[in-house]
Amino acid sequence: MRCSNCGICCAETEMLLSKKDIQRLKHKGYSPNNFVHYDKQGYANLKNSNGYCVFYNSQTRQCNIYVDRPQGCRVYPVIVNEENKIILDKLCNSRTSISKTEKTHKGKRVIKLLEIIDSEALERIHNSDEPVSAE
């Protein structure tokens, strides 16, 4: 994919995070308190600041953690819609640069990632040692 660095995907992001995403960013020195919030269903979500992902630099139009970005960001703009179909997000202006092969490959990764994230959210709900807020 050829990203245009428009920042649309980073605006008011609703990106879900896996435990691996959180651990990778913690290992890089970022405090989870600064980049993750947990909803009442147990999902870990990437925080926003000033209308964008906390890691997006709106002046340079670049991701400050690009090399270590969450898995959901890596597969974007391949997403799952309400009917559980793999689609390309219409918000992404660069979606036309994705080949069918890349869409298929990333689609498989999206499905596996969502299964992991769903499992982790359920685990958080049933395990009180991880933070879950009512945001």
- pLDDT tens digits along 48-62: 999 999 999 999 999
pLDDT confidence of residue 134: 42
pLDDT at 135 over 70: no
Residue 109 lies in a domain: yes
Residue 102 lies in a domain: yes
Report the percent of the chain where pLDDT is more than 70: 94
pLDDT at 129 over 80: no
Residue 134 lies in a domain: no
C-alpha to C-alpha distance for 14 and 53, rounded to whole angstroms: 9
C-alpha to C-alpha distance for 13 and 49, rounded to whole angstroms: 10
C-alpha to C-alpha distance for 83 and 67, rounded to whole angstroms: 31
Residue 2 lies in a domain: no
Residue 37 lies in a domain: yes
Residue 105 lies in a domain: yes
> Domain count of the chain?
1
Residue 59: C-alpha distances to residues 5, 32, 34, 93 (Å)? 11, 24, 20, 19
C-alpha to C-alpha distance for 47 and 25, rounded to whole angstroms: 13
Nearest Cα to Cα of residue 15 among 60, 73, 69, 92: 73
Token digits for 129?
């040692």
pLDDT confidence of residue 130: 55
pLDDT confidence of residue 35: 98
Residue 132 lies in a domain: no
Over range 34-52, report the average pLDDT.
Answer: 96
Residue 131 lies in a domain: no
How far from the centroid of its chain's Cα atoms is residue 61's Cα? 17
Exposed/middle/buried for residue 19 (C-beta within 10 Å: 0-12, 13-18, 19+): middle
Domain that holds residue 62: 8-126
| pLDDT 10s digits, 11-27 | 999 999 999 999 999 99
Q: Sorting pLDDT into bands at 50, 70 and 90, what band is 127?
A: confident
pTM for this model (two decimals): 0.88
